[in-house]
Amino acid sequence: MGNENSVAKHLQNAQRTGVCQLSDMNLDEFPMHLLKMSGKLRTLDISCNKFHELPGSIGKFLMLKSLNMNQNRLNLSGNSLKALPSDLKDLQAIELNLNQNQISELPESLHLCPRLKVLRFEENCVPLRGVPEKLLADSKVSLLAFDGNLFDQKSFQSRPGYDAYIERYTATRKKFD
C-alpha cells in the first residue's frame, strides 16, 4: 500500500464529504477501509495507482455516482480484463466504460444496476449471446456502445429485448434534442 498517513487523511475527509480522492498514491490493492463508507461515498477516484484487479466489493458502494480507476494496471478501459465480478447489482455508477479489454461476457447482474445509463464495451470479445437479454429488456441502460465485438448491429437488432432498449435510447436522445 502507498503512504498510510496520507491515505488515512483522505479517508477522514471522505467520511465528511462523500468524496474520496486517492489518485496517484502508489496503491497496489483496494483500500478495504473504504468498505466502511460504502453507503456514503458518491465519488471515488482511485486513478493512477497500481491495481491489478477490480474488487468484487465495488458493487457494495450503494451511493457511488462516479468511479475513476483510469491509469491503473487495471484500468476499466484499455486493459486485459477477461471478466467482471458476477454480482454488480448494487453498483451505482451512471456510466461504466469497459472498452478495449478481453471481456467475453457481460454479467447478468448489470441489468439490476439502478443508475447505470451508459455501458461502453467496445473492442472486447463479447459474442451476441454474451449480452444478457435482461440488460436490453429490463435495465435502465439507454446507451450501449459495442462496436468491435463478435457481433454486428444487424444481429444485435434481432436480440430479444432490443425493442425495449431502443425505446430507452430514443427517449434519451429526444431529451437532448
Residue from 110, 77, 60 nearest 30 by CA: 60
Q: How many domains does the chain have?
A: 2
Task: Express each pLDDT in 134-170 by its tens digit.
Answer: 999 999 999 999 999 999 999 999 999 999 999 999 9
Task: Express each pLDDT in 69-125 by its tens digit.
Answer: 766 666 477 767 787 777 777 776 788 888 888 899 999 999 998 889 999 999 999
DSSP codes joined into one string, 95-123: EEE--SS------GGGGG-SS--EEE--S
Return the pLDDT at 94: 81
Alpha-carbon distance of 126 to 43, in angstroms, equals 29
Same structural domain, 70 and 147: no
Q: Taking a C-beta distance cutoff of 8 angstroms, is the pair 50, 72 a contact?
A: yes
> What is the dihedral sign for C-alpha 74, 77, 80, 85?
positive
Question: Is the pLDDT confidence value at 1 over 60?
Answer: no
Q: Which of 75, 108, 134 is the last residue of a domain?
A: 75
Same structural domain, 12 and 82: no
Same structural domain, 71 and 43: yes
Return the pLDDT at 139: 96
Residue from 66, 62, 65, 98 nearest 83 by CA: 98
Same structural domain, 71 and 2: yes
Return the pLDDT at 2: 46
Alpha-carbon distance of 167 to 25, in angstroms, equals 43
Same structural domain, 70 and 129: no
Question: Is the pLDDT confidence value at 6 over 90?
Answer: no
**Helix, strand, coil % in the chain, rounded to nearest 5:** 35, 10, 55
Look up the pTM and report it: 0.66
Residues of the domain holding 170: 78-177
Same structural domain, 50 and 131: no
